[in-house]
Structure 1
């Protein structure tokens, strides 16, 4: 989901040659990626495979969009989560350092329990599950790397595991959590942030929170439903209380980034989906 958005955004952007490192290339991915090229046969758990990708691509910037997600069982299994979520980012940082490249690594708000919200970079990561711990341990701090802690929604290539695709696949009424707070970005917006606010600032290193205005999942689904014409009933449900919203004042001060409104973000996400079909 994130990798596709990054690849498409940079392939369409003047001054960039976008290369996707992938296991394989489907016709749909080729269509979405446009002018991007590919290094095929990536095994993200193999040091030899990673070294081959760097040798073939010779990158100036590496964006790590590989990661197991919380919604799948593999994201909560030590044997699968640790190699991908924890070890891979550090391997990429070392390879990027040798290649003279910069690493942009994307982490998650799930390093926090969600007990309080408005989390700062200085707040202690207090997740206790395998997924949250594996992502926290994968955060990279190095002179050639920046870690963006955030959360994403968006359209998937061939699945419906995320919130938006899951919602659009529903045919009957659902529950919308009024006390589950989200402050992440559509993938297309995060790609724009990396292109326009992160890459032009080589001095940006270490950990930064990237977020937009917090919104309840219930209100977010109502916006998506209205924008996409997906008219199903959404019943307010206050049973789940969780707030992993991030405070991104530090990132905004360093970059000048001002997030669009949620209606604008949803409209941009929808437009990107239409254009990629």
Structure 2
């Protein structure tokens, strides 16, 4: 299968590239903003350049991992609405021109986070630029697939803001939020889910990808500490803030099931130690 990963330099996209480079049955191309290291250069704000890249590669499957994240989105709202909101629909159009399928990665941050257990049927109620732009970009079309989730993983990007990257850069005492709840997946698990979705083109619209059980950010930091051998970090429980953006799934045709969070963290750490 000819596969095009857009945003191969970010946290989700770089893992997609690493994972699918080693998988049989995939002919991989990927983009980064500057190109180099085997990637195709692409400025995602240039929609005609996006269309030309898709037409030149002629993939059977496009995986969109491009996004403007939280603070960057708030600082540059017009760019955020263009990249997070408009680009996925433009990609669906470009994919349709060549008979390709789009898998777009969305976020649990489309929800406010005041109750948790959000299903695919719940209306996004987030109020930040990031939340609203990501909600706008969700492609709910039976020919394509939007995977709504939250991710943790290694991140080489200088603009990376992920929890794992932050933790691994710490020493001494750090706060672990006991009432911030999460049930997303590692980027490695996301890549596996995309591989599953690639084999099931009949699955379209919007699906939720979630861990077997939710956990607090406090618990997650403890699992990071164990898996990565970071005895130099002391985790201090903190009761504030209180946020619950955990997802729930009601669709019965999306049968992919992710493992528990500690199992995914241990698998990711082992993956990194052996270099993929």
Determine if the TM-score, normalized by the shorter chain, exceeds 0.5: yes
- Equivalence map 1:28-177=2 (5 Å): 30=37, 37-39=38-40, 41-70=41-70, 72-75=71-74, 77-159=76-158, 160-177=160-177
Structure 1 residue 200 displacement after superposition: 1.2
What SS is found at the alignment partner of 1:136?
A: helix
- Find the aligned partners of 1:95 and 1:111 in 2 and give their Cα distance: 25
Structure 1 residue 249 displacement after superposition: 4.3
Alignment match, 1:244: 245
- Find the aligned partners of 2:78 and 2:117 in 1 and give their Cα distance: 32
Q: Is the 8 A contact 2:120 2:208 kept in 1?
A: yes
Gaps of 5+ in 2: 1-10
Structure 1 residue 107 displacement after superposition: 0.5
Alignment match, 1:191: 191
Q: Is the 8 A contact 1:177 1:237 kept in 2?
A: yes
Equivalenced residue count is 263
Gaps of 5+ in 1: 31-36
- Find the aligned partners of 1:64 and 1:75 in 2 and give their Cα distance: 21
- Find the aligned partners of 1:6 and 1:107 in 2 and give their Cα distance: 15
Alignment match, 2:269: 270
Under a length normalisation based on structure 1, what TM-score does the superposition of the two structures give?
Answer: 0.90
- Find the aligned partners of 2:143 and 2:31 in 1 and give their Cα distance: 20
- Find the aligned partners of 1:93 and 1:164 in 2 and give their Cα distance: 31
More helix by share: 1
Structure 1 residue 75 displacement after superposition: 4.8
- Find the aligned partners of 1:108 and 1:244 in 2 and give their Cα distance: 10
Alignment match, 2:220: 220
State the 4+ residue runs in structure 1 displaced beyond 4 angstroms: none
- Find the aligned partners of 1:175 and 1:120 in 2 and give their Cα distance: 30
Under a length normalisation based on structure 2, what TM-score does the superposition of the two structures give?
Answer: 0.91
